[in-house]
Amino acid sequence: MDYAVAAALREAHDVTPGRTEAQYECFLDEPDGTRLPRVRMFADVVHLIDRKPVAVFDAKYKASSWSGYPNADQYQMLAYCTALDVPRAWLVYADAGPVRVRKVRNSDVEIVEFPLDLSRRPDELLVRIARLANEAVRDGHV
């Protein structure tokens, strides 16, 4: 993730309960009692309240999830939601356009594609990121 987006999300969350961590370590699998390595993941940004993840974010340097590998971003976010027990993930794309919510079939998981128009002025981008942070925490039922 772009460190500027991570820093902006952390700053935007300063006015909400909890804390925001970049490169949050989590595991896809449960310990199985062996010494074999687990499937380790690093979520770009996770917001936690009372040490429980309530929102997960990932920023992409591309226009949308459908330019290149259309499903890889969705799989990644589904893995984060499953491992962190978070019902909604936020994919931030360098793009203009509307927010799109994708409901994953046969699950309670939703993946939000949140465009961030990089042609905007820096102050406008910060307002948009603050909106993203507020929506994500609100969706986390804070």
Q: Assign 51 a pLDDT band (cuts: 50, 70, 90).
A: very high
Query: pLDDT digit string (tens) for 12-39?
Result: 877 778 889 999 999 999 999 999 999 9
Going along the chain from its start, the domains and CATH numbers come out as 3-29+38-139 (3.40.1350)
pLDDT for position 142: 43
Query: pLDDT digit string (tens) for 95-121?
Result: 888 899 999 999 999 999 998 888 899
**Is the overall model pTM greater than 0.75, yes or no?**
yes
Q: Which helix (H) or strand (E) element contains residue 56? A: strand 52-60
- pLDDT above 90 for 62: no
Strand ordering across the sheet containing 110-116: 19-27, 40-49, 52-60, 88-94, 110-116, 100-103
Contact yes or no for 39/28 (Cβ under 8 A):
yes
pLDDT for position 5: 74
- pLDDT above 70 for 73: yes
